Amino acid sequence: MKILLANPRGFCAGVYMAIDVVDQLLDICGSERIHVFHEIVHNRHVVERFRSRGVRFVESIAEVPENSIVVFSAHGVSPAVRAEARAKNLTAIDATCPLVMKVHAEAIRYAKRGWQILLVGHRDHQEVVGTTGEAPEAIQVVERPEDIPSLVIHDPEKLVYLTQTTLSLDDANIIIRALKKAFPKINEPPTSDICYATTNRQTAVRAIAPEAGFVLVVGSKNSSNSVRLTEIAMNDGTPSRLVDDASELDPAWFEGVDTVLVTSGASVPEDLVHGVIETLIERFGGEVEQRDVFDERVEFGLPGTLRDLMREKGIDPDTRRIRIDREADTTAWLERKHIPNRTVQVSIRESEQ
Ligand code: SF4
């Protein structure tokens, strides 16, 4: 079997930062209990690994004892949650991805000017709940073009759309086109809200999937960007499945398939991808071809609230950045496992982006 391994895949800068935040807190807070509001990132293994180290995940601030430490997840929270945390005198460490914060800031800015905001996204997703909370009176969520007729618009000239950061580019474009048709004067966000990591992972799948008979996406079912990767492959005609780890692989999927594309969502630790590759190679033999589509070098620093807490504890935050070099890791891992492998650079035409 030939395994095509998409680069980039796995952890994005926001997820690295959010995981780093909890790691650092576990390190500096000793026996003090760390509470995380919602899953720090949408990956079952990441959450279970932190839980086994004593982290408590909560779905409401009411569950957090007064004067404790609470971390807000990468998906962001609404101002109401921040206010609740303040009222309980919690030390709140905000691990919201800066690219989610950018959408919050846009929502606040437009709402202050008296504009109405159409937020394209999944109503129940934590990120959309958090963004909507910034200006609930100004924001209406649009999940599908079918939602458009029931929108209540006061002034079509003071209207803007924003989007969730992890949508499928294709699905978002369908909804945006429908919005522009219904409201020709609707404004766009200053720059796309769909983040670089989502865009790059989707573009890589779209470029490579036509060569594969099957696309395996490693990721959890509640990870929006992971689910979108399977949809992109299937929309382009390649069967695809989402698995949390190698234990969920079904040999029947690979009957008659000689080339498999493996990728992973932005919240997936690379060792889970290694587990999938190892299982495929054990069962079917073969080789790995890493396909480098984009070179990602985005990094986010630790949040200011955590840096302040570190200084209070006498720790210089600038000396405490964890950085994992994923690509070098996987190449070294393949070599150690004696799995035949090579790396191929892929150039993407603008029309494919
Ligand atoms: S997927 Fe994008 S928005 Fe979400 S954490 Fe990663 S970089 Fe931030």
**From atom 7 of ligand 1, which residue's Cα is the shortest distance away?**
14
Interval 100-145: pLDDT, tens: 999 999 999 999 999 999 999 999 999 999 999 999 999 999 999 9
> Residues 21-43: pLDDT tens digits?
999 999 999 878 999 999 999 99
13-97 maps to CATH 3.40.50.11270: yes
Which pTM was predicted? 0.94
Ligand 1 site residues, Cβ closer than 6 angstroms: 12-15, 74, 97, 99-100, 165-166, 195, 197-198, 225, 266
Active-site annotation holder among 127, 270, 289, 296: 127
Q: If you average pLDDT over every residue of the chain, what do you get?
A: 94
**Main-chain phi, psi angles of 188, to 5 degrees:** -100, 160
Q: Which whole number is the average pLDDT over 238-254?
A: 97
Active site residue 287: no
Quick one: the chain helix, strand, coil %, rounded to 5?
A: 45, 20, 40
* Residue appearing with tokens 């070179």: 295
Residue 182 region, left (φ>0) first, then alpha (ψ -120 to 50), else beta? Answer: alpha
- Determine the pLDDT at residue 293: 95
Return the closest-CA partner of residue 207 out of 265, 291, 276. 291
Q: What CATH topology corresponds to 99-182?
A: Cobalt-precorrin-4 Transmethylase; domain 1 (3.40.1010)
Taking alpha carbons only, the member of 77, 83, 80, 157 closest to residue 113 is: 157
What are the tens digits of pLDDT across the range 295-323? 898 999 999 999 999 999 999 998 876 65
Q: Enumerate the domain spans of the chain.
A: 2-11+196-298+323-352, 13-97, 99-182
Asked if 2-11+196-298+323-352 and 13-97 have one fold, the answer is: no
pLDDT at site 350 = 52
- Architecture of the domain defined by 2-11+196-298+323-352: 3-Layer(aba) Sandwich (3.40)
End-to-end CA distance of the chain: 28
Query: Cα torsion for 127, 130, 131, 135, to the nearest 10°?
Result: 160
Residue with CA nearest ligand 1 atom 2: 195
CB burial of 287-313 (b: ≥16 within 10 Å; e: otherwise) equals ebbbbbbbebeeebebbebbbebbeee
pLDDT grade for 272, boundaries at 50, 70 and 90: very high
Kindly report which listed range (69-73, 114-118, 150-154, 316-320) carries the lowest average pLDDT score: 316-320
Alpha helices (H) along the chain: 13-28, 44-52, 79-87, 98-112, 126-132, 169-182, 196-208, 224-235, 270-284, 304-312, 326-336
CA distance 67 to 51: 21
For residue 340, is pLDDT > 80? yes
Distances from the Cα of 5 to the Cα of 56, 121, 253, 280, 341, angstroms: 34, 29, 18, 12, 10
- From 198, 263, 299, give the residue whose CB has the most ligand 1 atoms within 8 Å, as the site to mutate: 198
